[in-house]
Amino acid sequence: MTAPPRWQGVFFDLDGTLADTVELILCSYRHTMEVHLGQVLPDERWLSAIGTPLVSQLRGFARDEEEVEAMLETFTVFQRELHDDMVRPFPGAGALLNKLRTRGAHLAVITSKRGVVARRTLEVCGLWNSVDLLIAVEDVDRGKPDPESVEQALSVLGLTDFRREVLFVGDSPFDLQAGRAAGTLTAAVSWGPFERQTLEAEHPDYFLETFEDLLRLR
């Protein structure tokens, strides 16, 4: 019997997919809103756009570009102070990456975070040495849900002609939209902040309840 084809590449979102960072992000958001707006707004307002570039999210709250820059500084400094104590990998993330590498898959992380923060998150989670490529927000002109970051990963890893053998795994609608627009297959994970109904509306090719589910796909 012929063995099933292996993935040529598996691309992952970072926050809410490989790394459990949502509480850190929300703490930073609450602090930033209190400092600049004098009130803590509902978490749902932030969560609805989580996964898009930070500056884009802050523009939804700031009154002008000067305040966007001030909010960005407040958010970044506060997050940096708490980061290492609050970030952890989701159970099984490291084992999954190692198994995929053993099977010959090229592994990329595609994130709306700045590169220096994303690398630190991967290092704290013990995942940095398991990925081949990191595409961060400053590496592209248009962040997710635009497919530019996925297209760049395909190009760098030599997978442009194999996009239907590449899986993009994420926890947000923006991940799924980016992957689909780039022509890869997509998988939504159940352990992020978005409700299943929201993710299913994007018609992912797969829905993962655990990391092990991914290994059973191919």
Last residue of a domain, one of 39, 54, 86: 86
- Tally Cβ neighbours within 10 Å of residue 135: 21
Q: Are residues 60 and 130 in the same domain?
A: no
User: Residue 2 pLDDT more than 90?
Assistant: no
175 is catalytic: no
| 129 and 165 inside one domain | yes
pLDDT digits (tens, 9 = 90+) for 131-152: 999 999 999 999 999 999 999 9
Is the domain of 30 the same as that of 44?
yes
169 in a structural domain: yes
Question: Are 74 and 121 found together in one domain?
Answer: no
Q: Are 119 and 84 in contact (CB under 8 A)?
A: no
Q: Do residues 123 and 208 share a domain?
A: yes
Query: What is the structure's pLDDT at 41?
Result: 87
pLDDT of 5 reads 57
Q: How many domains does the chain have?
A: 2
Question: Are 160 and 97 in a shared domain?
Answer: yes
Tokens, residue 62: 């700031």
110 shares a domain with 71: no
Residue 90 has pLDDT above 60, yes or no: yes
- Paired tokens of 16: 């809410």
The H or E element that residue 149 is part of is helix 148-156
Q: Is the pLDDT of residue 1 over 90?
A: no
What is the mean predicted confidence (pLDDT) over 162-175? 97
Residue 4 maps to a domain? no
In a domain, 73, yes or no: yes
Q: Give the CATH number of the domain where residue 62 resides.
A: 1.10.150
Q: List residues bridging with 108 in a β-sheet.
A: 11, 133
Q: What is the mean pLDDT of residues 161-175?
A: 97
Position 218 scores a pLDDT of 77
The answer to whether 156 and 118 are in contact (CB under 8 A) is no
Q: Are residue 14 and residue 99 in the same domain, yes or no?
A: yes
- Among candidate residues 13, 20, 171, 175, the one labeled active-site is 13
The CA-based dihedral angle spanning residues 74, 80, 86, 89, taken in that order and rounded to the nearest 10 degrees = 120
Same domain assignment for residues 97 and 190: yes
Do 170 and 114 share a structural domain?
yes
**Residue 3's pLDDT band (cuts 50, 70, 90):** very low
Mention every residue, 6+ apart, whose C-beta is less than 8 A from residue 199. 171, 172, 173, 176, 188, 207
What value does the mean pLDDT take over residues 156-184? 97
Please report the pLDDT score of residue 6 as a whole number.
85
Residue 2 lies in a domain: no
Please write the tens of the pLDDT for every residue from 77-89. 999 999 999 999 9
CATH number at residue 146: 3.40.50.1000
Question: What's the domain range around 74?
Answer: 22-86
With respect to residue 116, please indicate whether it lies within any of the assigned structural domains.
Answer: yes
Q: Is the pLDDT of residue 210 over 80?
A: yes
Rounded mean pLDDT, 93-111 = 97
Same domain, 49 and 142: no
Residues 11-65 pLDDT 10s: 999 999 999 999 999 999 999 999 999 998 899 989 988 889 999 999 999 999 9
In a domain, 3, yes or no: no
Q: Could you say which of 86, 111, 141 is where a domain stops?
A: 86
Same domain, 103 and 187: yes
Interval 180-189: pLDDT, tens? 999 999 999 9
